[in-house]
Chain A
Amino acid sequence: MTNSEYNRYKDKAFQVFGICCTFFGLVVLAIFLVDILIEGMGRINWEFITSLPSRRALRAGILTAWTGTLWILVLTAVIAIPLGVAAGVYLEEYARKGRLSNILEINISNLAGVPSIIYGLLGLEIFVRQMQLGASLLAGALTLSLLILPIIIVTTREAIKAVPRSIRDASFALGASKWQTIWRQVLPASVGGIMTGIILALSRAVGEAAPLIVIGALAYVPFVATGPMEEFTVLPIQIFNWVSRPQADFLINAAAAIIILLFITFLLNGVAVYLRYRQQRKVKW
Chain B
Amino acid sequence: MRTFSVNLKNLKGAGFLLSGALLLSACGGSGSEGAAANENLTGSIQIDGSSTVYPITEAVAEEFRREAPDVKVTVGVSGSGGGMKKFSRGEIDIVNASRSINADEAAAAEQNGISYVELPVAYDGLTVVVHPENDWANDITLAELKKIWEPGAQNTITRWNQIRPEWPDQEIHLYGPGVESGTYDYFTEAVVGKSHSSRGDYTASEDDNVLVQGVSSDPYALGFFGYAYYEENKNKLKAVPVDDQNDSNGQGAILPTLETVKDGSYAPLSRPLFIYVSSKAAARPEVVEFVNFYLDNAPELSEEVGYIQLPAERYQEQKDKFQEFANGVNQQAAGANQQ
Contact = CB atoms under 8 A, between A and B. Distances in A.
Mutual binders A and B: yes
Interface of A: 52-55, 67, 70-71, 74-75, 78, 132-136, 213-214, 216-223, 226-231, 237, 241, 243-248, 251
Contact of B18 (A67, A218, A229, A247): A229
Of the four ranges (under 10, 10 to 19, 20 to 34, 35 or more), the interface on chain B belongs to: 35 or more
B11 A229 contact: yes
B77 A213 contact: yes
A132 B4 contact: no
Contacts of A217: 76
A2 to B, nearest CB: 53
B76 A222 contact: no
A74 B5 CA distance: 10
Contacts of A243: 207, 209
A229 B14 contact: yes
B54 A222 contact: no
A77 to B, nearest CB: 9
Interface-central residue, A67, A216, A243, by most chain B CB under 10 Å: A216
A231 B74 contact: yes
Interface in B196-222: 206-209
A132 B55 CA distance: 29
B139 interface: no
Given A74-B1, A136-B18, A244 B61 contact: no
Contacts of A220: 54, 57-58, 61-62, 73-76
A221 B76 CA distance: 9
A220 B207 CA distance: 19
B295 interface: no
Interface stretch (B111-119, B272-280, B298-306, B318-326): B298-306
A247 B306 CA distance: 9
A241 B232 contact: no
B339 interface: no
Given A55-B305, A227-B10, A243-B207, A133 B15 contact: yes
Nearest to B65: A222
B301 A55 contact: yes
Contact of B229 (A216, A231, A246): A246
Contacts of A221: 74
B292 interface: no
A258 to B, nearest CB: 15
Interface in B38-78: 46, 48, 51, 54-55, 57-59, 61-62, 65, 72-78
Contacts of A218: 48, 74-77
A54 B62 contact: yes
Contacts of B229: 246
Contact of A70 (B2, B73, B77, B305): B2
24 contacts: A53-B62, A54-B62, A55-B55, A74-B2, A132-B15, A134-B19, A213-B76, A214-B78, A216-B91, A218-B48, A218-B76, A219-B75, A219-B76, A219-B77, A220-B54, A220-B57, A222-B72, A228-B11, A229-B15, A230-B14, A237-B77, A244-B208, A246-B231, A246-B306
A168 B59 CA distance: 63
B86 interface: yes
A214 B180 CA distance: 14
B1 A70 contact: yes
A275 B217 CA distance: 48
B101 interface: no
Given A55-B62, A222-B72, A246-B229, A78 B4 contact: yes
B285 to A, nearest CB: 19
Given A243-B209, A244-B209, A246-B228, A228 B6 contact: yes
Interface in B154-180: none
| 3 residue pairs, one from A and one from B, having the closest CB atoms | A229-B14, A134-B18, A220-B75
A216 B85 CA distance: 12
Nearest to A78: B4
B30 interface: no
Contacts of A245: 55
B327 to A, nearest CB: 29
A54 B55 CA distance: 9
A241 B219 CA distance: 29
Nearest to A229: B14
A136 B48 CA distance: 15
Nearest to A222: B65
A53 B59 CA distance: 10
Interface string B13-50: 11101110000000000000000000000000010100
B81 to A, nearest CB: 12
Interface in B315-339: none
A171 to B, nearest CB: 34
Nearest to A53: B58
B248 interface: no
A132 B208 CA distance: 35
A132 B301 CA distance: 35
A194 to B, nearest CB: 20
Given A216-B91, A220-B74, A222-B61, 4 more contacts: A55-B304, A221-B74, A229-B14, A229-B17
A240 B227 CA distance: 20
Contacts of B231: 246
B7 interface: yes
A212 B303 CA distance: 30
